[in-house]
């Protein structure tokens, strides 16, 4: 009765209903997220068959600990995102419902082709959401790229079927691993390339800059805090269950991820626009998560994704709220703006400190876990790169924090005269909601080990594949 299939079906049902009763879209949206949370709580874990045919004949859902954690994160962030986005979310209620259904499907499904379908659902929903930025060429760019990525993924999935005769995600690597390297190479490449577009990996993630960089209070958080972790989790699932890497693909992927991380942070470093900075920061962070997944270190990656999702959502809420209110997102225009919005400023600070990985916040725990985990692979240079890049990340986040807090000319003491005229960035209820997320982040930071214990179970559920680049790729 309490099947996890509700997680997909319920929002879908609501979406279908909401077309005709447009007035209640928003209500249906929130209702279905809340119900989803209840389902998440009630549904028993395990494999769920759809259509009455056991895999590989039918489609099944894999509702394990990993899926649970990711779903929980997504539902919660979705709830907050829609709540805070308010009127915009009302307009895009149906789309958001479908998006939610798609993401849930993506995270739950245990079938490669079904995953493709769900990815497409999510992509198309996200195209539509991205149009709310009002920058249609960017949406078009995203659409083209994501479609090409989708086709690649589809080809990859089909080739996997052609070679192995099965589409079941769970344990697929075992079958694929028996194939000769030359055969498994191309489908693996296609699958990874397909996902890479959505993951914003270096040469192919170019859409992200403008989609994130022009975001509003709806799109920013949805893209950075809902879609990014969702695709991250999917990628993790793929890495754990499907993808068989050989040294070349493994190191190419690793190289792409590291390039994304490093160059993304560098690009963020030079930005003078708050939203663009956050955009490149998101790109870079997704690169880091991919590094970890590629090295088969899901625990650290999950931790990182969660921290990023929470932190980025806050950052985007505050940033888009403020930049909409003051009609600019440039460093100069927003200088000292937090003097007017202390609470937002504090939440922004907490989020950025956590993102950078400053101690006492969750991000620190994530960073430490990541580095410690990478040590176990023996690739000591990667932590060096990560930590060196963290300096750059810290540098630009701090630059923003300093500018946003200090209404002052350089070389002078801060004074209230320099403060921009106060405007309402977010209303009271929105602020409370943002604070709630910040509180979650803060509390997680205070009890990192407890969070870690919960998550480590999830990571063990995810990982059936033991091989890593480090081992498979040889030293």
Considering only residues 278 through 307, tell me which ones interact with other proteins, judged by CB under 8 A.
Answer: 280
42 binds other proteins (CB under 8 A): no
173 binds other proteins (CB under 8 A): no
Footprint (CB under 8 A) of other proteins, residues 129-148:
131, 135-141, 143-145, 147-148
414 binds other proteins (CB under 8 A): yes
User: Pick from 32, 36, 62, 94: which binds other proteins (CB under 8 A)?
Assistant: 94
Look-up: residue for tokens 């930049």? 323
454 binds other proteins (CB under 8 A): no
CB–CB of 456/351 below 8 Å?
Answer: no
User: Pick from 67, 84, 98, 257: which binds other proteins (CB under 8 A)?
Assistant: 98
User: Pick from 27, 86, 127, 171: which binds other proteins (CB under 8 A)?
Assistant: 127
User: Pick from 71, 74, 118, 426: which binds other proteins (CB under 8 A)?
Assistant: 118
Catalogue the E-assigned strands of 204-307: none
Handedness of CA 356, 361, 363, 368 (dihedral sign): positive
CB–CB of 297/237 below 8 Å?
Answer: no
Footprint (CB under 8 A) of other proteins, residues 384-413:
384, 387-388, 390-392, 394-395, 398-399, 402-403, 405-408, 410-413
Q: Is 215 left (phi over 0), alpha (psi -120 to 50) or beta?
A: beta
Closest CB to other proteins among 33 and 202?
A: 202
Q: Give CA–CA dist 274/337, Å, rounded.
A: 12
Q: Give CA–CA dist 388/315, Å, rounded.
A: 23
User: Pick from 31, 35, 37, 186: which binds other proteins (CB under 8 A)?
Assistant: 186
Footprint (CB under 8 A) of other proteins, residues 349-368:
353, 358-360, 364, 367-368
452 binds other proteins (CB under 8 A): no
Q: How far is the CB of 424 from other proteins (least distance, A)?
A: 21
Footprint (CB under 8 A) of other proteins, residues 246-265:
246, 248-249, 252, 256, 263-265
Closest CB to other proteins among 422 and 427?
A: 422
Q: How far is the CB of 227 from other proteins (least distance, A)?
A: 15
- State the DSSP H helix or E strand holding residue 40, giving kind and residue range, or none if neither: helix 25-42
Footprint (CB under 8 A) of other proteins, residues 227-246:
246
Q: What is the number of alpha carbons within 13 Å of residue 447 lying toward its C-beta?
A: 9
Look-up: residue for tokens 């991000």? 363
User: Pick from 38, 162, 432, 439: which binds other proteins (CB under 8 A)?
Assistant: 162
Q: Is 467 left (phi over 0), alpha (psi -120 to 50) or beta?
A: beta
Q: How far is CA 187 from the centre of its chain?
A: 24
Residue 209 three-state SS: helix
Q: How far is the CB of 321 from other proteins (least distance, A)?
A: 21
423 binds other proteins (CB under 8 A): no
**Would you tell me the crossing angle of helices 298-325 and 342-356 to the nearest 10 degrees?**
150
Q: Give CA–CA dist 43/2, Å, rounded.
A: 5
202 binds other proteins (CB under 8 A): yes
Look-up: residue for tokens 């063990």? 460
Cβ-count burial 396-416 (b if 16+ within 10 Å, e if not): bbeebbebbbbbbeeeeeeee
Q: How far is the CB of 42 from other proteins (least distance, A)?
A: 14
Q: How far is CA 436 from the centre of its chain?
A: 19
Q: How far is the CB of 64 from other proteins (least distance, A)?
A: 18
210 binds other proteins (CB under 8 A): yes
Q: How far is the CB of 265 from other proteins (least distance, A)?
A: 8
């Amino acid at each position: 009765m309490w099947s996890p299939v509700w997680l997909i079906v319920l929002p879908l049902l609501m979406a279908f209903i909401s077309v005709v009763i447009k007035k209640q879209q928003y209500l249906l949206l929130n209702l279905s997220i809340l119900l989803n949370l209840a389902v998440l709580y009630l549904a028993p874990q395990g494999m769920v068959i759809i259509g009455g045919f056991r895999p590989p004949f039918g489609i099944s859902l894999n509702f394990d600990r990993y899926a649970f954690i990711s779903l929980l994160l997504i539902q919660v962030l979705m709830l907050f995102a829609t709540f805070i986005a308010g009127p915009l979310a009302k307009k895009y209620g149906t789309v958001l419902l479908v998006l939610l259904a798609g993401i849930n499907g993506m995270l739950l499904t245990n079938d490669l082709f079904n995953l493709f379908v769900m990815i497409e659902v999510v992509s198309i929903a996200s195209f539509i959401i991205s149009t709310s930025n009002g920058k249609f060429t960017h949406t078009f760019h995203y659409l083209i790229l994501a479609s090409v990525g989708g086709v690649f993924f589809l080809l990859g999935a089909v080739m996997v079927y052609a070679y192995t005769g099965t589409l079941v995600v769970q344990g697929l690597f075992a079958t694929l691993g028996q194939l000769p390297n030359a055969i498994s190479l191309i489908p693996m490449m296609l699958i990874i390339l397909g996902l890479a577009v959505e993951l914003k990996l270096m040469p192919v993630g170019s859409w992200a800059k403008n989609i994130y960089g022009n975001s509003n209070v709806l799109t920013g958080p949805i893209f950075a805090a809902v879609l990014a972790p969702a695709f991250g989790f999917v990628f993790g699932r793929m890495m754990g269950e499907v993808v068989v890497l050989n040294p070349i693909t493994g190191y190419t992927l690793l190289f792409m991820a590291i390039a994304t991380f490093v160059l993304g942070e560098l690009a963020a470093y030079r930005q003078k626009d708050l939203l663009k900075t956050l955009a490149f920061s998101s790109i870079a962070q997704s690169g880091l998560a991919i590094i970890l997944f590629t090295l088969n270190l899901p625990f650290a990656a999950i931790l990182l994704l969660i921290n990023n999702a929470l932190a980025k959502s806050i950052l985007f809420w505050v940033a888009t709220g403020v930049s909409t209110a003051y009609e600019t997102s440039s460093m100069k225009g927003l200088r000292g703006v937090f003097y007017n919005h202390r609470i937002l400023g504090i939440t922004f600070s907490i989020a950025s400190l956590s993102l950078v990985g400053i101690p006492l916040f969750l991000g620190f725990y994530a960073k430490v876990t990541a580095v410690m985990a990478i040590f176990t692979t023996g690739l000591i240079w990667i932590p060096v790169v990560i930590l060196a890049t963290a300096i750059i990340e810290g540098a630009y986040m701090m630059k923003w924090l300093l500018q946003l807090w200090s209404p002052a000319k350089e070389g002078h003491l801060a004074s209230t005269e320099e403060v921009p005229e106060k405007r309402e960035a977010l209303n009271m209820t929105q602020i409370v909601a943002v604070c709630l997320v910040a509180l979650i982040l803060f509390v997680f930071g205070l009890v990192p080990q407890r969070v870690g214990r919960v998550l480590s179970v999830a990571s063990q559920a995810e990982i059936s594949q033991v091989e890593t680049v480090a081992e498979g790729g040889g030293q």
